[in-house]
A and B are shown apart, each in its own frame.
Chain A
Amino acid sequence: GAGVSQSPSNKVTEKGKDVELRCDPISGHTALYWYRQRLGQGLEFLIYFQGNSAPDKSGLPSDRFSAERTGESVSTLTIQRTQQEDSAVYLCASSRNSFDTQYFGPGTRLTVL
């Protein structure tokens, strides 16, 4: 079946602009995660959704970052007033439940000029 998909694959924006990144998880996966990976760095947890529970936002670096997920479907990560340090690959992953293997999407490469 289809894996996790993300769009756009690449996004170039100007400093100060808002961007919205999209993640389509695997159908039936209740858990969804967003991560950030800066060049040459490890993955950095951002936010976690589990079913209809309140999301765990403990990894969001600032109030410019927010994410939404409707039920167990698509999620969007929004970055407002982008800064150059926001440049990174943003990865989305989904899993059947909290403790199952996470399946990653190909990521969105964000470049803030």
Chain B
Amino acid sequence: KNQVEQSPQSLIILEGKNCTLQCNYTVSPFSNLRWYKQDTGRGPVSLTIMTFSENTKSNGRYTATLDADTKQSSLHITASQLSDSASYICVVAGASGGSYIPTFGRGTSLIVHP
């Protein structure tokens, strides 16, 4: 069964500090992995997308890594800001019979305190 596990479930940090969120998956066959940011009451917004051959991808203060061998990904947030407070969702896309069905993690809830 395809699964995406994220850790920690929640995280509280002080403004300006760095943090790393983890994502482990068992989706097969693997197509790509995305990290989304979901603000409270809003739909998710894409941060990064990585395919099998990519190890790292950055988007401003967000850097995602992917180890396709161990099926692990991380999202590193540098110099956190209050606006980073949100849920961060790891989404892994497989491919089955030509149909694209993404598997979502439950998300990590990040709270940045001043």
Do A and B make up one complex?
Answer: yes
- Give A residues with C-beta under 8 Å from B: 4, 31, 33, 35, 41-45, 48, 50, 56, 58-59, 91, 93, 98-99, 101-107
**CB-contact partner of B43 in A4, A50, A98, under 8 A:** A4
Nearest opposing residue in chain A for B93, CB measure:
A99
Number of A-B contacts (CB under 8 A): 51
A33 to B93, CA, bound (A): 13
Residues of B close to A48: CB separation below 8 A: 99-101
Chain A nearest CB: distance from B88 CB in Å? 12
Collect the chain B residues with CB atoms within 8 Å of residue A58's CB. 101
With both chains docked as a complex, state the minimum distance between the C-beta of A67 and any C-beta of chain B, in angstroms. Answer: 15
Q: If A56-B99, A99-B100 touch, does A42 touch B105 (CB 8 Å cutoff)?
A: yes
- Chain B 69-111: CB-based contact to A (< 8 A → 1; otherwise 0): 0000000000000000000010001000001111111110000
Interface size on B, residues (CB 8 A): 21
How far is B18's CA from A105's CA once the two chains are assembled, in angstroms? Answer: 30
Q: Shortest beta-carbon distance, A55 to chain B, in Å? A: 9
State in angstroms the CA–CA spacing of A15 and B44 once bound together.
29
- Are A42 and B102 within 8 A (Cβ)? no
Given known pairs A56-B101, A101-B34, the reply for A42 and B107 (CB within 8 Å) is: yes
Q: B49: CB under 8 A from chain A? A: yes
Contacts of B89 in A (CB 8 A): 42-43
